[in-house]
Amino acid sequence: MTVSRLKMTDLESLRRAKDFIDREYAASLDISAMARTALMSPAHFSRSFREAYGETPYSYLMTRRIERAKAFLREGMSVSDACLAVGCTSLGSFSSRFRELVGMTPSQYRARDHRGFEAIPSCVSMLATRPRRPSIPA
Amino acid sequence: MPLTLATTFILVHDPDAALGFYRDALGLEVRMDVSSEGFRWVTVGAPGQDVSIVLSQPHGGRTQVEGDELLSLVTRGTFQAAIFRTDDLDATFEKVKASGAEILEEPTNQPWGVRDCAVRDPSGNLVRIQASAQ
């Protein structure tokens, strides 16, 4: 078990940082800002976060942003507005990350039929539609 | 009689801290408090609702390995969630906030039609509280 190497107090701090990312995804977050919420040095934070959650903090932030962008696109927002709304400043890197995680371009995703999601509360659809990336070997 | 939910379980790392949240802040009543082998099982529920929630510790009645894994999942905030409903969301939210709970989302009108907020219990479990339909 890799997680057993982390203390419970570390896991608590990492959870706070993850909640912070979930909440502040649209802000221009860098590693130092995220590490501060966990009261850790950036290097220790990145390593521990990856150990606890299977992806780096930045990668988690981008996963969260793409998940929110998917919600905005389902509501009919334009691709460039969705990109800005989730805190991405470059349409190019937004689109390539979107494509990598979702398997299609933002415009292709926007054009799909999303009626099946209307009845689901967003806390559920957030998990159901969250892009999954394969875990990174430690 | 149709099937109904009788009891469900929420894992907590510290029963006293959990009572500070579920009893003192949310207002649930304590229906049973059982200790065995150094662990506690505290049964709470909403007054007037015949559904019980057992607050129990991850290591209670389990092996060290199982308990460690469950506690780790709970602490990381990924294990379980509960959604409560209230007539006065804003008052409940203020009470929960004053108890020192971590706030994930203030009372918000959600696009799917409900008004709710999201917090963490002292162990890291996700708790959403929604306003009853008017």
Other CB atoms within a 10 A radius of the CB of residue B51 amount to 11
Cα A63 to Cα A78: distance, rounded to the nearest angstrom: 19
At residue A1 the predicted structure's pLDDT band, cuts being 50, 70 and 90, is very low
Place of tokens 């894994």: B69
Is A100 near chain B, with CB under 8 Å? no
CB A21 within 8 A of CB A34: yes
Q: pLDDT band at A122, cuts 50/70/90?
A: low
The DSSP code for A115 is G
- Compute the mean pLDDT over every residue in chain A, rounded to the nearest whole number: 88
- CB under 8 Å, gap of 24 or more: what pairs does A82-88 form? A82/A106, A85/A26, A86/A25, A86/A26, A87/A25, A87/A26, A87/A27, A87/A28, A87/A29
Contact at CB, A122 and B110, closer than 8 angstroms: yes
Predicted ipTM of the assembly: 0.89
A8/B124 touch (CB, cutoff 8 Å), yes or no: no
Strand order in the sheet with B102-109: B81-86, B126-131, B115-120, B102-109
The nearest alpha carbon in chain A to B119 belongs to A19
Among B75, B102, B105, the residue with its CB nearest the CB of A11 is B75
Averaged pLDDT of chain B: 96
Residue found by looking up tokens 């150094």 in the block: B38
User: What pTM was estimated for this model as a whole?
Assistant: 0.86
> Could you report the per-residue pLDDT of B56-67, keeping only the tens digit for each?
999 999 999 999
Q: Which residue in B13, B112, B120 is closest to A121 by CB distance?
A: B112
Cβ-defined contact of A23 to B105 (cutoff 8 Å): yes
